[in-house]
Structure 1
Amino acid sequence: MGEERMGSRKRIAGGGGLPDDCWEYVLSKIVNKENLSVDERNNYLETLSLVSKQFLSVSNRFLYSFKLIYNQNLYRPFQRFQNLTSLDLSSFRGDLNALLSRIPASITLTSLNLSNHTTFPVLGLQTLLKKTTTKSTLTSLTCSNMASLCHTHISLIADSFPFLQQLDISFPKTISGNAHAYYNALQLLTQKLSKLRNVNLSGHSYFNDSLFFQLCVNCKFLQQVFMFDCQFLTHDGIASAIYQRPTLNSFSVSNFQEANGFNKITPYFVDSFGTLKGLTCLDFSFSRISDLMLCSLALESLPLNKLVLHGCLDYTYYGIYYLLSRSRFLQHLDLQFATFLNDQGITDLSVYLADLVSINLSGCHQLTNSAFFALLRNCPLLTEIRMESADIGKSLSVDLDLDFVYNQVKSLYLADNPRLKDEDINMFALMFPNMQLLDVHRCNSISQIG
């Protein structure tokens, strides 16, 4: 009885009479809402942790994802957050090997981000693997933008993390080792990581048609592929691989070419995309495509919700109109540097883009306020507009409806529009009451007062 009274007094002093498990249940109803993003969830937890020491202790149990920045104390996050499953070290600027070595055995990681570092932490990873269950639990590994990535590092990843579902080793600044060893390491990757669903191999100069074919054959669950700046990929090589994996739903590639220059789009390449019946995301940034390609995609009635033709060449308004007029579920559209687009063209296209959430029309220098307002009128879900280096601001007030506001718009990127003036910024304040970001740098007609 004495122990029960003492426990009761402790609970009253620390949290209003309720034990930790009760508060844990209450907090779970607050922070585990389905529509919360990771950042929103963590903001809730941070606020709740300030209420009392008991709330701090209980809320720590709900933090599963943590981003370590600069030179934070190496021990404190692991002491506080015992249920961590996701660790982002991309902004950490201390000794990465030492940090990984100090992760306690009680931590069960499923996601690890080691991007933006000068060295690949071989020793730290080896120590981590020896004392934790990371080898069998890690499903996501990101090592993007590493200063150096050699064939032994890639082999280590292939041998150490057989259950990876998501791997990003994109854009290493330097690729160390001879070509034969590096190719063999990438080949090992395609053979051992058979559970991959999402892979980013952008910037790997040794990744070619043969390796992509092996990747598609061996990885039966593969859904998303990113291969920007893989210069030895060809149209027909890509097509051969696609035919092996028709379950792909996201495909991103750029600058694929033959050794002697750009290869021509073949019917074999065009037809291969017709097999991707579940394709929702297509990114051809900085590639040569054609109207034939776009029309073929339209005829397949693919469920595209994201289309990126950023900096693409050799297509015209006819091709993009034919595709967009038949893509009624599109939410994200990037046509940056499509210099053939004009106000009337955007007005006509916007009629088919009722579900659009974000659009990028930067570098389309013919577009004026007419195109800007056509998008606002016809795309009621639009939250982000990028129209940098256009001609926005010319007679902007003419089209303004002062009796209507666009509550959904949160981000406007309008840099390098020299016609934008102070009064236009005031109009934006009335039109977009929920705007969170306004980029008007290098708009020289806007004064400091504005």
Structure 2
Amino acid sequence: MRSTPLSRRRALRTAAAATSAALCVTLLAACGSSGDGAAATAADDGKPVSLTFWGWAKGTKDVVAAFNASHPNIQVVFEEIPAGAAGGYAKLSNAVKAGNAPDVFNVEYPQLPDFVSQGAVQDISKLVDGDLKAKYLPQAVELTSLGGRTWALPLDASPQVFYYRKDLFAKAGITVPKTWDEFRTAAQQLKAAQPDTRIATFFPDDPTTFEAMAWQNGAHWFAAADEAWKADLTGPETRKVADYWQKLADEDLVRVMPSFSQQWTASLQKGETAGYLGATWGGGVLKANLGTAPEVNGTWAAAPMPSWDGSPASGMLGGTTFAVSKDSKKAKAAVEFATWATTTADGFKARISSGTSSAYPAATELVPAAKQAFNTDFYGGQDLYALYADAAKSVKPGWTWGPAMGVTNGSLKDSFGKVAGRTGTIDESLTAAQQATLAEFKNRGLKVAQ
């Protein structure tokens, strides 16, 4: 019997609603993502298997070149696409709908459940055994395992890190803050000593930075149980973070400007912004954005993220995975490529050696290789990867991303823009995002827990 568009939509909604811990296996049958062609490892004509791969992470082109040179039986054709939030996810979603998606693509942890709920990726559980999972940081495995099944392989872990200008802190007599109370005091001291300089930035266009700070404080925005989703973006742990950053913004103690914009980069170059609350991958981004000019080379350093009580604690800010698209008939080869890229020293050295990536490997045994490959002269030779390792251990477990993060983050981004214009608050933004998220759950036919 031929299905109608309406019946297909109903089937998808029914499948998406069947959740337990994250997503029920019913989704597989409804969305055709079971990967029946997963066994393909070589073309029938004896030629190398050709994989198409889309991504944007720094150093990816070098990784693909190194893989192709060492794997004559599998050749990867790489297409660089815009970063996910900058149009990459829209391009991927459109390709999936049109039936011409790449075999494998990069997707960040927050967006993975969304792609799974839409039936855009394959369940690769049969291709990922316990030995392979054991190579990765447990928190990263947790974020790629939904409903007891494996949907992607983790590339990096992205705990929070505080990057700061040593010279500007010393000039103002500031010690590196260990707590958020100390951070506020340091912000006040820096502004008093250098009126044109601020300690850090609130990014109105990037909700993930705020989300990581809520995670760090023990918030849990999403949970799924008894085939229903719960969303709580306005709990006390999150409101504490919101109130804190609202006061910093209201008192002009931090910059409020778009992330990685020319405006933001210029403020760093001029010494008007003395710190960056980022993640492990931010070390390479900061270095690449500022270059190696003598006036800044060696003046930056990194420290643990401030926490509420001074003890090590972190959320994850971003982080990338390798997922196999639902229609690929080459899943086994795709997983072989993703495994090599995420668990081998050669794969990670290729990524890091470009100097633009300071990714912390989710496969923790690769930390020495990453450390060796990333030149830290920009940071005065500091052992960044020792700091990153400690930060990774401090990531709080139990965080779950929701199945509609595109809508959640879209709402936050729109509302955070009002914070920049002083026509709205962070708290109001969270309330609006909560409402938008729950509305999207119902629109998709997902059960909502009360």
TM over 0.5: same fold? no
TM-score of the superposed pair, with normalisation by structure 2: 0.22
Q: Which has the larger radius of gyration?
A: 1
TM-score of the superposed pair, with normalisation by structure 1: 0.22
Q: Write 1 or 2 for the structure with the bigger share of helix.
A: 2
